[in-house]
A and B are shown apart, each in its own frame.
Chain A
Amino acid sequence: MRMLVRFSKENDLRFISHLDMVHAMERALRRADIPMAYSKGFSPHAKISFSAPTPLGIPSSAEYMDVHLVKPLSAQIFVQRLNNALPNDMRVLEAMEIDDDVPGVLGKATIGCYTIQPYEGVQWISQSHINVLMNMNDIIMEKRTKKGLKEINIRPCIKELILMQDGQHITAKLLLPSVGGINPDILLKAFNIYTDVRIDVEDMAIHKDDILLEDGRVLLPE
């Protein structure tokens, strides 16, 4: 059987890379004595897949993994044991038992949900700024790719952009970089270029809340 797991990576752990997080999780699984399945061969590896990387510096409650187990284990016990073995800033949020023949769902996530707010007292985005961006047909921005800087139109990547009632938080739904989308820093830079607000990405607290399937459904149904 397999376990589909959603977990968080908060606070200081936003500074560890995706690969480091993977290692930290593998070690926690071993400490928790989770009966993981291993690949055969010379140097066996645990059979786990993880969702696409969250950029360094962004805390997240939207990390997912799909773990193959050699012995059945209830989701409840899995969560309890793993949480006891994880660092404080990594927490299992939910887990679901799935059968071996159910296709994996991690690669099918296409949308990232973020909350963005300023740390303190800086000029901030208003509804009119949002309207400016959302009413544009093309938002041309430079995006760093492996081949260097590339100009792309990020407008289709922005699925939703809402200023919350407190006037402080913004929630954004963006196409994920793994499917040609963008990270939230590019969105914030677009405000600087196309509206009259001036914000410093370093002054923003960005949190990745979840990732969704193309049709907007969550990966782990209630």
Chain B
Amino acid sequence: MRNRNIDKILLSVEKPARYIGNEYNAVHKNLASVEVRFAFAFPDVYDIGMSHLGIRILYDILNKRDDTFCERVFAPWVDMEQQMRRHEIPLFALESGDNIADFDMLGFTLQYEMSYTNVLNMLDLAGIPIWSKERTNRHPFVLAGGPCAYNPEPLADIIDFFLIGDGEEAINEIVDCYKTWKYSGDTDRQNFLKHVASIEGVYVPSLYEVSYNDDGTINAITPKIDSLPHIIRKRVVTNLSSAAYPERPIVPYIDIVHDRAVLEIFRGCTRGCRFCQAGMVYRPIRERSADRLVELADKLVRATGYSEMSLSSLSTGDYSQLEQLVKILLEKFQEEKVALSLPSLRLDSIDKSLLERIQSVKKTGLTFAPEAATQRLRDVINKGITDDDILRTVEYAFQQGWQSVKLYFMIGLPTETDDDLYGIAEMARRILDVYYSIPKDQRGRHIDITVSTSSFVPKPFTPFQWDPQDKIDRLSYKQHLLQQQLRMKHVTYHWSDNRLSFMEAVFARGDRRLGRVLAAALANGCRFDAWTDYFNYDGWLKAFEQCSINPEFYAGRVRSYDEVLPWDHINAGVSKDFLIRERERALKGKTTFDCRRACIKCGIERWEGVCDNANAGTL
């Protein structure tokens, strides 16, 4: 039961509905009849966390079990945290209002590095020691998964165990393993951790020893027990059509970031953009069948009452039956007045007559992410889009009356020169020219081009994992140059905070020595770091100083191919050989084709029965 004190403070915080739970389709269970209480945590505010699909999938799977009750918990917003600390209210679960510290398991999803301080803060608010070695049987086991778990090391001393890869199947095995341990009468937490480490995809960092070289690089990462694997292989769900999918998703009361029904059409991506971690670690590509998607779409609309549905994937246009699926859904939804959204859609990938009926296109206008403005640099990053693709599509769009174009680029990519930056302004200029070349009576009355740049962050398991990030000064110079170059009528330029990208780069490729920095940063007041208003750079710098750690060691250093990387004991599917090969091709400006044409031997082809495209086709 929720504490009456909570009700009292709710009226003094922003959006109190973030903390009440009880949404339509939220699950409630009789506590007397459940054996395992699982709290699923998203280390950011409710509005962000509830927009995330993974939490909904695992919530559904766990709650289908009669023996388990899975609840949700999010990071209380700053105002709520203040009230909770003042009134000594510990972190509580949304469904029951019970204290998180009393749960059996607490699972975090790690979607971005800059949420790590929130993980620590949530543990602290729950009254759970932040260091795993200080936890006792009075505390839950703390686990974590999600894309950032591919380099689990910065949180190695904080999280009891990680799940690497897809969670749909492994989560059940973990709960089964926990029950077996709990009922065995064994009270040694270490014994459970040893058991759970035998599940494929599970990594228990405290059971691995890291040794270092004199220069601070890693010498070796070795298991402390002989029976443990030297390399932890990620979990892969091979058949998405038969995998569990939440058919009755929770419908939040407040307006969350993605307030619509979400249909995941496929997982993985075959394009092989060299900067993209998701494109590498979610391999291989696995589609849900169109039949299953149509069936799900119907159920989702009925169970939620949403008037918008979005198709979700890394690159919507690559779904093999997209046109057919969109046609069926548009027809089906016409009467029910459900709008269809297709984010990350390449406009060249769909029939133009369907385009006009798509909600996301109507609402946000045209969006392109060429990432780099010159063909040379696009070849380096293997982004297979040409100037012509873009110009042809905007011409068509302007003729149809569209008036706004958004362009997304990265700055600081390997091999980038000033010419590549001038290219960004050049592209904006050429798009403007296209607009003006259309007769006045055949185009919209306004034109509005938005250029946004983010600063490149090298990520683990990408061909650029050995590359340094540009120094802050260098990135700021580039942004300054762009500000000048983009001083054009009808063009707006947005850029990102380089200090934030720097911190992201440190933790993306960090090792377990950084755990102390996280604790120090939290003590210095850092949290909600991904929110520009709350990002406290001084707090971070001070934390590095307090721990005598140089952040440049992680972000700004060239690593050699033979250096032991902090994530070398994780097998994400793509092999190191492949990543080296891709990096070498990148430096030569050589592209690699989409692997549905022919297998490019990324490494996952060696896993039996996992990839449909494995070893297929010829070069």
Residues of A within 8 A of B (CB): 12-13, 15-17, 19-21, 23-24, 26-31, 38, 42-44, 56-57, 85, 87-89, 119, 202
Contact = CB atoms under 8 A, between A and B. Distances in A.
Given A17-B17, A24-B24, A38-B337, A30 B307 contact: yes
Nearest to A36: B337
Given A27-B306, A56-B11, A15 B24 contact: no
A28 B304 CA distance: 8
Contact of A20 (B21, B24, B254): B254
A19 B11 CA distance: 17
A30 B305 contact: yes
A119 B8 CA distance: 11
8 contacts: A13-B20, A16-B20, A17-B17, A24-B251, A30-B301, A85-B305, A88-B22, A202-B8
A119 B4 CA distance: 11
Given A23-B255, A31-B305, A44-B337, A15 B23 contact: no
Contacts of B4: 119
Range of interface residues on B (Cβ < 8 Å): 20 to 34
B255 A12 contact: no
Given A27-B306, A88-B22, A202-B8, 15 more contacts: A12-B22, A13-B20, A13-B253, A15-B11, A15-B16, A15-B17, A16-B253, A17-B17, A24-B253, A27-B24, A27-B305, A30-B306, A38-B337, A87-B22, A87-B24
A175 to B, nearest CB: 23
A57 B22 CA distance: 16
Contacts of A26: 305, 307
A57 B305 contact: no
A26 B304 CA distance: 11
A20 B305 contact: no
Contacts of A38: 337
Contacts of B307: 26-27, 30
B311 to A, nearest CB: 19
B611 interface: no
B337 A28 contact: no
Contacts of B303: 31
Contacts of B20: 12-13, 15-16
B29 interface: no
Nearest to B254: A20
B402 to A, nearest CB: 14
A30 B305 CA distance: 5
Contacts of B17: 15-17, 20
B10 interface: yes
Contacts of B362: 42-43
Nearest to A119: B4
A15 B22 CA distance: 11
Nearest to A200: B8
Contacts of B336: 30
Interface in B198-219: none
- Give the secondary structure class of A's interface: helix
A57 B11 contact: yes
A13 B21 CA distance: 10
Contacts of B337: 38, 44
Nearest to B308: A43
Nearest to A120: B4
B302 interface: yes
B339 interface: yes
Contacts of A88: 22
B16 A56 contact: yes
Contacts of B255: 19-20, 23
B305 A28 contact: yes
Given A43-B339, A87-B23, A31 B254 contact: no
B253 A20 contact: yes
A27 B337 CA distance: 12
A15 B10 contact: yes
Contacts of B305: 26-31, 85
Contact of B302 (A19, A21, A31): A31
A214 to B, nearest CB: 31
Contacts of A27: 24, 251, 304-307
A44 B301 CA distance: 17
A27 B303 CA distance: 10
B130 to A, nearest CB: 30
A208 to B, nearest CB: 15
Interface in B361-399: 362
A188 to B, nearest CB: 14
A58 B142 CA distance: 38
A196 to B, nearest CB: 25
A201 to B, nearest CB: 9
Contacts of A56: 11, 16
Contacts of B306: 27, 30
A27 B255 CA distance: 13
Contacts of A16: 17, 20, 253-254
Contacts of A44: 337
B168 to A, nearest CB: 27
Nearest to A58: B11
Interface string B343-373: 0000000000000000000100000000000
A89 B26 CA distance: 13
List 6 A-B pairs, minimum CB-CB distance, nearest first: A27-B305, A30-B305, A31-B305, A15-B16, A12-B20, A16-B253
Contacts of A202: 8, 11
Contacts of A119: 4
A30 B253 CA distance: 15
A16 B24 CA distance: 13
B562 to A, nearest CB: 56
A81 B455 CA distance: 52
Nearest to B16: A15
A216 B156 CA distance: 67
Contacts of A29: 305
A158 to B, nearest CB: 23
A85 B254 CA distance: 18
Interface centre among B10, B11, B301 (most CB of A within 10 A): B11
Contacts of A20: 17, 253-255
Contacts of B251: 24, 27
A221 B130 CA distance: 61
Interface string B321-339: 0000000000000001101
Contacts of A42: 362
